[in-house]
């Protein structure tokens, strides 16, 4: 590798600040990412706390006053996300605002964003050490509603159910929204305790993406975060394995017209595996593009499904195939999908298939730096994987993958779980 | 070729507009700091344009619902195979979409821009339909329609449009129905193609990493001009009042979904229509946006959750002010919103809040130029609305508090309908 793609400096104990200069954007995106172990005991609190933190700060204690503050900053966008990264959890707060050069009155928007984002994490609205009752109640209900609403989007729901079944008791199988019974049992005081625990133990990654000068923002983060007395724990390594035993199956019935069929495969191919690039190519040839084998054969030629796509989760070495099928063609679709995978394993794909897939994957990697959020997420992924590859580095590695390696990667997959969401029996 | 450079001082941006002799408008915005190029080739033709004539003396003809979307699917197929295979050769990521009033074909690439552009120009200008391929597509689109039938978010919106509109085509699903698409045949597709895919009705918009002169040379070589054809649409005849003020049905959802809409006659002149949309957008924010006291109060009373949002839903021949989200009591939200509108009519808007909403809108517009896809799409959308991208920025900047207050009289109970999707009662 010819150069460090980003500049990451420590600000305090297990607190790092990374800047990714990107002159093409008219905005600066700041993100604070708390990296934590994923456990059944803490997930619900970790899901609820960011929803409270994104609603205001001690200086802007109501959602209305906080929203007005963002409005004055030319419609700055603040929010939170919770994502699973293998067997770890990442709780993020982010704020995106116009670059100072577009401020009509010469406001220092990047510095103001840094202060506001620090306040969101460090100075929430507290009364007697507990979160504000009303904000807590609103966001607690919102989260409970969101858990119930998971069934609204059947495609995503089916995929999630498959993933839960596949991972079983592993941390990665936990729901990132948390669990209703635990969320119901929380109080404004216990949620604030979770917030303190998160601040105390998380590894903290702060990432800036944009054209603005990061130095003043970095200083603000350093001044605010370095004095924190913290006790960061050791983050567990994600467990990546092939699994064993018979194929797990699950089924749910709803009042739907189209069925969703999801297949989950395990492998030992993780972020640092030498086979990762081959597995990415394998996924693209099989079901990652509109000229992939699944799309062309199972959808176009056999008309067995409306969509049929493959995705690979490198953090756990899992390949997921999901499809929307006619309820009475489920078995045919499943057989057709498995047959396409068998062909991959036997090397039954053309040089053209491989070239097309490669061009498409290279295009995807080279497009990674086209939006601030995707750029930030990409480099956070690199940091968490313990790698430091630019999209261009990835492309060079993908270009070297051979057909034999692709077939070999396909051979490393073991069908683990089949999940079907279909219509109710008449 | 008539080539102009359009500039905007406020944003410090510029792009090139070329009106080709064929009538095609070409919009080119080189953005050399980006790694990708995004190109859109679109026709000003969507699902609402299913009743038209090309001869001013003739009667209007009505075509089956969903034909614009069907045509979009079919254009991807040529005599030699699938258009996707053309892009597979270049690595570009290609796609297409049909909305209520436009159909666009697009690709995004990091390499091989010129061959990808050729591929886009080639397949969009080479219709190939046979009875056999049309029949196969009826199956695939039938599946797509079914997928949307299971989507509560989609259903709550169409249920609202059906409640609001008497005979406006916007109330029909963009993909049509299984019955309507069964009436489509190859001849009808050719007829629509030759009417609406005339270059004078189309826009080609490109933004990102590319050389505009090189692009123009390729475009020049690959256009197939035809005699421009005037297209006439029936006038807006939608009655003021809705069909019904309330509609509901049950689906597998966890809590009620609602969409509340006010049907408003769209302004006729393009700039006035856009201005109307910006004024309403700001009014939405001031009435019920996250910076309003109303939003805070509804949230605190548990009548809405943070998914509550509004939209100025507008296109050729329709405009609806929409407020939607999840609520255990959509009727209470409706009552409170009407009371809020009445209160603002009496007391007026706060100038400081107005300035804040305007700043936020400016910020959104600048932010909209943050990536190549947005820029290409915004240039095309503005042009198809009858203006240019920079006009939209200036129109938004010129909106006053009084303009926004004037729009309040269009949000009245007699033009309103409420659509609700309730959880299924499981017995």
Closest CA relative to residue B239, chosen from B172, B167, B173, B169? B167
Contact B291 A356 (CB under 8 A): no
Domain A7-225: give its CATH architecture: 2-Layer Sandwich (3.30)
Contact A75 B140 (CB under 8 A): no
Asked if B123 contacts B117 with a C-beta cutoff of 8 angstroms, the reply is no
Provide the total of helices (H) and of strands (E) in chain B, helices listed first: 15, 16
Best mutation target, A28, A53, A65, A67, to test chain B (most B CBs within 10 A)? A67
Average pLDDT over residues A195-205: 97
For residue B143, give the chain A residue with the closest CA.
A306
CATH 3.30.830.10, domain A248-423, yes or no:
yes
Residue found under tokens 């339909």? B129
Q: How many C-beta neighbours within 10 Å does residue B58 have?
A: 9
Provide the total of helices (H) and of strands (E) in chain A, helices listed first: 15, 13
Q: What is the DSSP string of B159-195?
A: HHHHHH-SS-GGGS-TT--HHHHTT--HHHHHHHHHH
Asked if residue A311 has pLDDT above 50, the reply is yes
- The ipTM is 0.86
Cα A130 to Cα B288: distance, rounded to the nearest angstrom = 29
Best mutation target, A24, A76, A254, A394, to test chain B (most B CBs within 10 A)? A24
Could you tell me if B108 lies within 8 Å of chain A, comparing CB atoms?
yes
Best mutation target, B31, B77, B87, B88, to test chain A (most A CBs within 10 A)? B88
Catalytic residue among B4, B9, B72, B149: B72
- The encoded tokens of residue B1 equal 């070729």
Name the phi and psi angles at B15, rounded to 5. Answer: -150, 170
DSSP A257: S
Asked if residue A2 has pLDDT above 50, the reply is no
Mention every residue, 6+ apart, whose C-beta is less than 8 A from residue B34.
Answer: A24, A370, B208, B209, B371, B372
Cα A352 to Cα A355: distance, rounded to the nearest angstrom = 5
Per-residue pLDDT of chain B (427 residues; tens, 9 = 90+): 789 999 998 888 999 999 999 999 999 999 999 999 999 999 999 999 999 999 999 999 999 999 999 999 999 887 777 788 889 889 899 999 999 999 999 999 999 999 999 999 999 999 999 998 899 889 888 888 888 888 899 999 999 999 999 989 999 999 999 999 999 999 999 999 999 999 999 999 999 999 999 999 999 999 998 888 899 999 888 999 999 999 999 998 888 999 999 999 999 999 999 999 999 999 999 999 999 999 999 999 999 998 999 999 999 999 999 999 999 999 999 999 999 999 999 999 999 999 999 999 999 989 988 899 999 999 999 999 999 999 998 999 999 999 999 999 999 999 999 999 999 886 4
Strands (E) across A326-426 are located at 414-423
pLDDT of residue A4: 56
pLDDT tens digit sequence for A329-340: 999 999 999 999
pLDDT tens digit sequence for A205-236: 999 999 999 999 999 999 999 899 999 989 98
The dihedral over CA atoms of A147, A151, A157, A160, expressed in degrees to the nearest 10, equals 30
Domain B246-423: give its CATH architecture: 2-Layer Sandwich (3.30)
Where are the domains positioned within chain B?
2-222, 246-423
Residue environment code for A121-134, b if the CB has 16+ CB neighbours within 10 A, otherwise e: bbebbeeeebbbeb
For residue B218, the SS3 value is: helix
Contact A303 B136 (CB under 8 A): yes
Min Cα–Cα distance to chain B from A388, Å: 20
pLDDT of residue A75: 94
pLDDT of residue B83: 84
The dihedral over CA atoms of A176, B252, B158, B344, expressed in degrees to the nearest 10, equals -60
Asked if residue A271 has pLDDT above 90, the reply is yes
Min Cα–Cα distance to chain B from A270, Å: 26
Q: Do domains B2-222 and B246-423 have the same CATH topology?
A: yes
Q: Give the angle A346-A347-A350 at the CA atoms, nearest 5°.
A: 145
Min Cα–Cα distance to chain A from B352, Å: 10
pLDDT of residue A1: 34
> Which strand (E) or helix (H) includes residue A254?
strand A248-254
CATH 3.30.830.10, domain B2-222, yes or no:
yes
pLDDT of residue A426: 66
Annotated catalytic residue B267: no
Whole-number Cα distances in Å, B70 to B84, B89, B177 = 17, 25, 11
| Strands B246-251 vs B416-423: parallel, antiparallel or unpaired | parallel
Which of residues 26 through 45 in chain B touch A, CB cutoff 8 A? 31, 33-36
Where are the domains positioned within chain A?
7-225, 248-423
Asked if B28 contacts B139 with a C-beta cutoff of 8 angstroms, the reply is no
Contacts of A371 in chain B (CB under 8 A): 370-371
pLDDT of residue A305: 84
Mention every residue, 6+ apart, whose C-beta is less than 8 A from residue A35.
Answer: A85, A88, A89, A90, A202, A203, A204, A205, A235, A384
Min Cα–Cα distance to chain B from A299, Å: 9
Determine the distance from the C-alpha atom of residue B13 to the mean position of all C-alpha atoms in its chain, rounded to a whole number: 24
Mention every residue, 6+ apart, whose C-beta is less than 8 A from residue A222.
Answer: A11, A12, A17
Of B88, B291, B371, the CB nearest to A291: B88
Q: Under the phi-then-psi rule, with left for phi > 0, alpha for psi from -120 to 50, and beta for the rest, what region is A75?
A: left
> Between helices B113-124 and B212-222, what is the axis angle to 10°?
30
Mention every residue, 6+ apart, whose C-beta is less than 8 A from residue A38.
Answer: A84, A87, A88, A89, A171, A172, A174
């Amino acid at each position: 590798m010819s150069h460090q793609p980003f500049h990451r400096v420590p600000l305090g104990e297990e607190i790092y600040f990374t800047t990714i200069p990107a002159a093409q954007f008219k905005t600066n995106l700041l993100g604070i990412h708390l990296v934590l172990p994923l456990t059944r005991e803490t997930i619900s609190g970790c899901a609820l706390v960011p929803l409270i933190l994104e609603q205001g700060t001690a200086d802007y204690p109501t959602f209305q006053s906080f929203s007005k503050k963002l409005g004055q900053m030319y419609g700055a966008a603040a929010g939170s996300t919770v994502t699973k990264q293998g067997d770890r959890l990442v709780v993020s707060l982010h704020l995106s605002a116009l670059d100072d050069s577009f401020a009509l009155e010469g406001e220092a928007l990047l510095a103001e964003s840094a202060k506001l984002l620090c306040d969101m994490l460090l100075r929430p609205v507290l009364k007697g050490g507990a979160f504000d009752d009303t904000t807590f109640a609103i966001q607690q209900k919102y989260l409970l509603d969101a858990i119930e609403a998971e069934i609204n989007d059947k495609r995503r729901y089916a995929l999630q159910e498959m993933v839960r079944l596949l991972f079983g008791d592993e941390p990665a199988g936990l729901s990132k929204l948390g669990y209703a019974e635990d969320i119901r049992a929380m109080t404004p005081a216990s949620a604030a305790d979770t917030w303190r625990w998160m601040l105390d133990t998380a590894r903290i990654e702060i990432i800036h993406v944009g054209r603005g000068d990061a130095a003043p923002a970095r200083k603000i983060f350093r001044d605010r975060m370095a004095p924190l007395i913290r006790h960061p724990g050791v983050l567990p390594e994600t467990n990546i394995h092939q699994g064993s035993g018979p194929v797990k199956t699950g089924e749910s019935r709803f009042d739907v017209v189209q069925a969703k069929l999801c297949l989950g495969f395990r492998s030992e191919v993780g972020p640092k595996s030498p086979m990762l690039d081959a597995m990415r190519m394998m996924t693209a040839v099989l079901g990652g593009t509109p000229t992939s084998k699944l799309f062309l054969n199972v959808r176009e030629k056999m008309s067995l499904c409306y969509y049929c796509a493959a995705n690979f989760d490198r953090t756990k070495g899992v390949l997921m195939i999901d499809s929307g099928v006619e309820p009475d063609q489920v078995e045919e679709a499943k057989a057709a999908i498995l047959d396409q995978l068998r062909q991959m394993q036997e090397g039954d794909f053309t040089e053209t298939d491989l070239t097309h897939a490669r061009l498409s994957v290279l295009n995807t990697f080279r497009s990674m730096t086209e939006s601030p959020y995707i750029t930030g997420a990409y480099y956070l992924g690199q940091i968490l994987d313990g790698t430091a590859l630019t999209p261009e580095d990835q492309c060079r590695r993908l270009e070297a993958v051979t057909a034999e390696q692709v077939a070999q990667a396909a051979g490393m997959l073991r069908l683990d779980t089949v999940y079907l969401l279909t219509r109710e029996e008449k | 070729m008539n080539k102009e450079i359009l500039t905007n001082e406020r944003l410090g941006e510029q792009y090139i507009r070329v009106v080709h002799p064929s009538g095609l408008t070409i919009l080119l915005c080189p953005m050399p700091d980006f790694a990708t190029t995004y190109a859109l080739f679109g026709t000003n033709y969507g699902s609402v344009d299913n009743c038209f004539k090309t001869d001013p003396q003739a009667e209007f003809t009505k075509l089956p619902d969903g034909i614009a979307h069907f045509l979009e699917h079919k254009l991807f197929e040529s005599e030699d195979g699938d258009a996707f295979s053309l892009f597979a050769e270049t690595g570009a990521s290609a796609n297409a979409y049909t909305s209520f009033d436009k159909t666009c074909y697009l690709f995004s690439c990091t390499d091989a821009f010129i061959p990808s552009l050729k591929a886009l120009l080639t397949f969009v200008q080479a219709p190939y339909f046979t009875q056999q391929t049309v029949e196969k597509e009826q199956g695939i689109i039938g599946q797509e329609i079914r997928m949307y039938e299971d989507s509560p978010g989609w259903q709550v919106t169409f249920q609202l449009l059906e409640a609001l509109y008497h005979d406006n085509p916007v109330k029909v699903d963009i993909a049509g129905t299984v019955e309507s698409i069964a009436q489509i045949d190859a001849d009808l597709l050719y007829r629509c193609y030759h009417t609406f895919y005339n270059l004078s009705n189309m826009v080609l918009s490109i933004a990102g990493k590319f050389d505009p002169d090189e692009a123009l040379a390729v475009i020049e070589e690959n256009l197939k001009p035809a005699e421009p054809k005037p297209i006439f649409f029936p006038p807006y005849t939608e009655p003021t009042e809705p069909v019904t003020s309330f509609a509901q049905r049950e689906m597998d959802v966890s809590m009620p979904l609602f969409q509340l809409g006010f049907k408003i006659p769209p302004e006729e002149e393009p700039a006035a229509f856009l201005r109307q949309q910006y004024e309403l957008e700001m009014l939405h924010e001031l009435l019920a946006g996250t910076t309003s006291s109303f939003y805070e109060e509804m949230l605190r009373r548990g009548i809405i959750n943070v998914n509550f949002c509004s939209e100025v839903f507008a296109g050729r021949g329709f405009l609806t002010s929409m407020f939607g989200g999840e609520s255990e009591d959509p009727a209470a939200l409706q009552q409170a919103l009407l009371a809020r509108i009445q209160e603002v009519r009496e007391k007026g808007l706060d100038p400081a809040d107005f300035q804040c909403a305007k700043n936020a809108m400016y910020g959104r517009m600048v932010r909209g130029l943050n990536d190549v896809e947005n820029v290409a799409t915004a240039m095309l959308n503005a042009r198809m609305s009858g203006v240019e991208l920079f006009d939209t920025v200036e129109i938004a900047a010129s909106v006053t508090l009084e303009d926004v207050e004037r729009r309040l009289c269009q949000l009245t109970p007699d033009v309103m309908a409420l659509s609700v999707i309730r959880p299924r009662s499981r017995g």
